Amino acid sequence: DVKVTQSSRYLVKRTGEKVFLECVQDMDHENMFWYRQDPGLGLRLIYFSYDVKMKEKGDIPEGYSVSREKKERFSLILESASTNQTSMYLCLAGRTLYGYTFGSGTRLTVV
Amino acid sequence: GNSVTQMEGPVTLSEEAFLTINCTYTATGYPSLFWYVQYPGEGLQLLLKATKADDKGSNKGFEATYRKETTSFHLEKGSVQVSDSAVYFCALSAITGGGNKLTFGTGTQLKVEL
């Protein structure tokens, strides 16, 4: 099974800061995703990527960008953090045939 | 676009009761289907999957059958335990643009009581 590692478990950032969330997988899977999970709103897709330098917008891309320069790493960037981006951020990697594995999540608080 | 609809929760059952959590989907083409589980205070983990019609996924006593004719993937377990208390998410993977897009349902909370 793929192992998905998110660099930080908890982060506290100030409004207006540029924030980087990192996600690394230990296999060669093409597909990687960023979601946010909020109470009562479920899992909402921000961006996904199906290969190096390839990305597609999800359902709520506003205020976010992504980078995938290497196959194993998928970064989520908050260009100018705002309080409404306080959330649990979840990275996912895998292939449909094998299933997709979640990272342990990054709980971001923007103050 | 693609979508997944799950039954509203919370679902409250007594231990050893039969569980069904309904999941229906809308998708073009031939999606793959998944169930994920999130135990209290933990991350989401894959419970089972099915990649084509009539496939049955199973794990830890849970089962789900991919029914293309009814566009459903209902989760079942014959006898639930208190340790099954968790939130269950149904999901589908389908080709969108250049890659596979994962779409999740809103989750169904299960509470199992003694």
Cβ–Cβ gap A56/B100 under 8 Å = no
pLDDT score of B28: 83
Chain B residue with Cα closest to A30:
B99
The closest of A101, A100, A110, A71 to A5, measured between CA atoms, is A101
> For A63-88, how does the pLDDT look when each residue is reduced to its tens digit (9 = 90+)?
999 999 999 999 999 999 999 999 99
Percent of chain B topping pLDDT 70: 99
> For A53-64, how does the pLDDT look when each residue is reduced to its tens digit (9 = 90+)?
999 999 999 999
pLDDT score of B99: 77
Report chain A's terminal Cα–Cα distance, integer Å: 37
pLDDT score of A2: 86
Residues B82/B19, Cβ–Cβ less than 8 Å: no
DSSP 8-state assignment for residue B73: -
Cβ–Cβ gap B99/A50 under 8 Å = yes
The closest of A5, A13, A14 to A75, measured between CA atoms, is A5
Chain A partners within 8 Å of B9 (Cβ): none
**CB-CB: which of A42, A48, A99 is closest to B49?**
A99
Give A37→chain B minimum CA distance, Å. 10
Distance separating alpha carbons of residues B51 and B29, to the nearest angstrom: 12
**CB-CB: which of B32, B96, B104 is closest to A42?**
B104
Cβ–Cβ gap A96/B105 under 8 Å = no
Q: Is B102 on the interface with A (CB under 8 A)?
A: yes
pLDDT score of A63: 96
Is the sign of the CA dihedral B11, B75, A100, A48 positive or negative? negative
pLDDT score of B80: 97
Q: Which two tokens stand for residue A110?
A: 């923007």
- Mean pLDDT of the residues in chain B: 94
pLDDT score of A96: 83
pLDDT score of B39: 96
Chain A residue with Cα closest to B31:
A96
Name the pLDDT band for A28 (thresholds 50, 70, 90). Answer: confident
> For B69-109, how does the pLDDT look when each residue is reduced to its tens digit (9 = 90+)?
999 999 999 999 999 999 999 999 988 777 788 999 999 99
Residue with tokens 């993977």: B93
